[in-house]
Structure 1
Amino acid sequence: MFTFISIVVTIVALIAWGVHLQTKRHNALLAKFREHNQRLGTSFPENSVDSELILSANDKKVVIAFDPESQKLCVVTGAKDPGEVLDFAYIRRWQLKWTEVSGNGGLSFKNVHFDFSTSDLKRPLIRIPVSGKGYGDTWNSRLGILLGV
C-alpha cells in the first residue's frame, strides 16, 4: 500500500512541477512582449500565450507574435532570445505543409508546419511546427487577415 501511495505522490509532484515550468516559460515569454511594448510602443499580447495573435511551435521554442496596429511582429527563437521586432514586410510568403499518412482506413497528417520565407539573407526560412492541421488551417487564415493577403 505504501508503494502505491508513494507512486501516486511522485506522479502528482511531477505533474505539478511540469505545470510550474510551463507557467514560468509562458510568463517569461509574455514579459519579453511586455518589454517590447514599453520600449517600442507596440501592442503585442501580454496576458496569454494562447492569444489569437501568437503563433507558436508545439514546444514554444519558436514563437511569432503579431501587432496589427503597428504592423509589427516579434520573433522569439528560444528561451534566451529576447525577441526581434520586425515589420510585417519581413515575411514575404508562408506555406502550411504536412505529410499525409493513410492507415487503418483513415488519413492522418504528420509533420504539420509553417514555412515562412523572409526578406533576410541570413535567415531566409523560418519553420514553425504546429500541433495539427486544424490549428494550421486556422492560422493560415489568420495570417491572410494579418498580413493583408
Structure 2
Amino acid sequence: MKFFARIVAVLGGALIFFVGLGTAVFKSGLLGLVICLAAGAFVWWVFAQEREEYRGNIEALNRETGLNFKEAFGSGTTSMCIDETARKLALLEQGGAKHRLFGFEEIDDWELRWTEVSRNGSLSFQNVHFTFRTTQLEMPIFKVGVNSKLNGETWSQKLRLLMA
C-alpha cells in the first residue's frame, strides 16, 4: 500500500509541476516558478522518505540478524545487500520490509539479463535484472532488477570477486 501511495504522491507532484509550468507560460512567470519549485520539493521529499525507510529496514535487519549488511544494488521493490565478512546475501523485498538470507555457498550462479530495444537507430536496454539460481528449495530462482546495464555489469563483476 505504501508503494501505491508513493506513486500517487509523485504523480500529484508532477501534476502540480505542470500546473505551475502552465501558470508560468500563460499568466505569471514568478507564480509558476514558485509552484514548480514546490512540486519539485514535494517529489524530492517523497523519495527522501522512501530512502530513509529503506535505510531503517537495513538497520533493523542488521540488529535482528547480528550481521553487517550494507546496501548493494536493486531497483523497484527488490534489492540485494551484502555482508562481506559473514559471506551472506540478503534479498530485500517490499523495500526491505521482508527479507531472505543466503550464504555465498547457496548461490549456484547468476546471470545478467536485459531486453534490447532499437528506436530510430538508437539502442537502449530495458528490464535489466539479475536472475539468481540457489540451492534453496523454497526459492530456487529469484530476480533483482538494476537501473542500467552498466550498473549490472559492475555488480556482476563485484559478485564474482566477492564469492571467489
TM-score > 0.5, shorter chain as reference: yes
Question: Does residue 13 of structure 1 match 2:38?
Answer: yes
Q: TM-score, normalised by structure 2?
A: 0.72
Which of the pair has more CA radius of gyration? 2
Aligned to 1:22, the other structure's residue is in SS state: helix
Equivalent position of 1:55 in the other structure:
73
Aligned to 1:37, the other structure's residue is in SS state: helix
Higher helix share: 2
User: Aligned partner of 1:34: which letter?
Assistant: E
Unaligned residue ranges in structure 1 (runs of 5+): none
Task: Determine what percentage of the aligned residue pairs are the same residue.
Answer: 27
Q: TM-score, normalised by structure 1?
A: 0.78
User: Aligned partner of 2:58: which letter?
Assistant: F
- 1:30 deviates by 1.5
The verdict on how the C-alpha distance between 1:6 and 1:91 changes in structure 2, with shifts beyond 3 A counting, is farther
1:102, 1:108 within 8 Å by CA — same for their partners in 2?
A: yes
Distance in 1 between residues matched to 2:135 and 2:100, nearest whole Å = 14
Q: Post-superposition, which runs of at least 4 consecutive aligned residues in structure 1 deviate over 4 A?
A: none
Aligned to 1:110, the other structure's residue is in SS state: strand
Distance in 2 between residues matched to 1:83 and 1:28, nearest whole Å = 15
Q: How many pairs align? A: 139
Unaligned residue ranges in structure 2 (runs of 5+): 1-23
